[in-house]
Structure 1
Amino acid sequence: MKTNCLRLFFLMVVVLLAAAPISFAGVNMDVAHKLTLANPPLDVVSTPDGKFMFVLSEKGIISAFDQNGVLQNKIHVGEEVERIKMDPQGTRLFVTSRLGKSVQVIVLDFFVEINTADTPSMGPQNAPVVLAVFSDFQCPYCARLAPRLEQVLKQYPKSVRVVYKNFPLSSHKFAKQAAAAALAAERQGKFWEYHDELHKYYRNLSDKKFIEIAQQLGLDEAKFNKDRHDPAILEKINLDHEEGEALEIRGIPALFMNGRRIQNRDLGNLQDIIDKQLKKAQ
């Protein structure tokens, strides 16, 4: 009995020591940025990832700064506002006023810049809605999304542009080769036709299949084979992949509408979001 008690005691000590917070010896401090405001600051909050900071100043102005201290946006919320708080997800600001007996809820709509230059695309270059999809030709979910995007283009022929970005997964043996083959087909004006065939045969991709599709589409086979091994095409794929990693893409397909990540890729949801975006653009 005494032995069991001793074992239990030592076990509790080990657990408590493991759970104890790290005891720091000290702290160094450096000024990362100094933000210059037109009015005295009243309150400040940051997003959970630390990428954005929101400063409430007198005169009721909330200023949004990025992690480099660059001003991104401003909004006037009323001079009686005293404090701001952020929800744990970093998607909403709560703006409180004791004098006004009110709480304003501000929805944060974050977006990113995506490079669409020199990238395969369908739809008008000046379309108000741009759908950028990071995809992989061996991915079954990517294959399912492709026909939905085609339907969107048919429904909004003058308003939507679809941009294709390569994000081949290392676990897919032929994904990068397929991406190179599609870009080689682009040099002969057949990217989207080749794209469709690759998605159709995503389970059975191989070097033989790449050549079969090229022959089926009437491509110049010698040029096609030379181009798909061109270092410039491989570099283009790598740049797309690096951009996707910088955007912290963890799963594919990854779809962005005007720089905003779209999680629900059902056709009905895409139509709803596009309609709302077109109303804003009017």
Structure 2
Amino acid sequence: MHKLKQKNYLWLFIFFLSLFVSQNVYGKADLTLIRQKNLDVQPLDVASSEDASMIFILSLGELIIYSSKNDQIIDRSALDKTYDKITYSEKNKTLILTSKASKSLKIIHVEQVYDISLSELPFKGPFDAPVTLAVFDDYQ
């Protein structure tokens, strides 16, 4: 009986000791490559929209806007070469560029423009008119 009691105390001691000497256990992460794109410039900083549909790449003297939906660069704009940091505000749809060297800040409003093809829509009047009105006269 005495040995059984000693054995129980030993297990209790080992249990409490394990609480103090426990090790951190890290889980694994499964990484899956979604897309890889080679750039013709060296990126200084990167920002993206909240849904990652637009990725803004700041390089030396240039701002590149990449569309992840279309997998292509949709715009390039020249900038002052002193800008070295970029952030994007989804709420205001603004890019915020900062420069350590010139101690300056530039705020740019971003509005995505979509091309709408009017080639197969019904219209009345000359084809090359400066204004096209779509007429929906086939409703019953």
User: What TM-score range do you get, normalising by the shorter chain?
Assistant: 0.5 to 0.7
SS at match of 2:133: strand
Alignment-derived partner of residue 38 in structure 1: 40
Q: Which of 48, 51, 64 is the aligned partner of 2:50? A: 48
How far has the Cα of 1:101 moved from its partner?
Answer: 1.4
CA RMSD of aligned residues (A): 2.4
User: Which residue identity is paired with 1:107?
Assistant: H
Alignment-derived partner of residue 115 in structure 1: 117
User: What is the correspondence of 1:177-256 to structure 2 with a 5 Å cutoff?
Assistant: 182-183=137-138, 210=140
Matched, 1:60 2:56: no
Alignment-derived partner of residue 99 in structure 1: 101
**Matched-pair contact (CA < 8 Å) for 1:42–1:56:** yes
User: Which residue identity is paired with 2:81?
Assistant: E
Q: Matched residues in 1 for 2:125 and 2:108: separation?
A: 34
User: Which residue identity is paired with 2:97?
Assistant: V
Q: Taking CA–CA contacts closer than 8 Å with sequence separation of 6 or more, which of the two structures ends up with the larger relative contact order?
A: 1
Which structure would you say has the larger Rg?
Answer: 2
Instruction: Report how many aligned residue pairs link the two structures.
Output: 113
Q: Matched residues in 1 for 2:92 and 2:66: separation?
A: 14
Q: Matched residues in 1 for 2:128 and 2:86: separation?
A: 38
User: Which residue identity is paired with 2:46?
Assistant: V
Matched, 1:29 2:1: no
User: Which residue identity is paired with 1:83?
Assistant: K
Alignment-derived partner of residue 199 in structure 1: none
1:34–1:124 distance in 2 versus 1, CA, 3 Å:
farther
How far has the Cα of 1:123 moved from its partner?
Answer: 5.6
SS at match of 2:82: coil
Q: Which of 69, 72, 88 is the aligned partner of 2:71? A: 69
How far has the Cα of 1:94 moved from its partner?
Answer: 0.8
Alignment-derived partner of residue 134 in structure 2: 163
User: Which residue identity is paired with 1:102?
Assistant: S
Which runs of 5 or more residues in structure 2 are unaligned? 1-26
Identical columns (%): 22
Q: Matched residues in 1 for 2:104 and 2:57: separation?
A: 19
Alignment-derived partner of residue 6 in structure 2: none
TM-score normalized with structure 2 length? 0.67
Alignment-derived partner of residue 19 in structure 2: none
User: Which residue identity is paired with 1:38?
Assistant: D
User: Which residue identity is paired with 1:64?
Assistant: I
The structure whose residues are more often helix, as a share, is: 1
How far has the Cα of 1:104 moved from its partner?
Answer: 1.1
Which runs of 5 or more residues in structure 1 are unaligned? 1-24, 128-158, 165-178, 184-194, 196-209, 211-282
SS at match of 1:160: coil
Residue by residue over 1:190-231, the C-alpha shift from the partner in whole angstroms, topping out at 9 and shown as x without a partner, is xxxxx7xxxxxxxxxxxxxx4xxxxxxxxxxxxxxxxxxxxx
SS at match of 1:56: strand
TM-score normalized with structure 1 length? 0.36
How far has the Cα of 1:29 moved from its partner?
Answer: 1.7
How far has the Cα of 1:126 moved from its partner?
Answer: 3.5
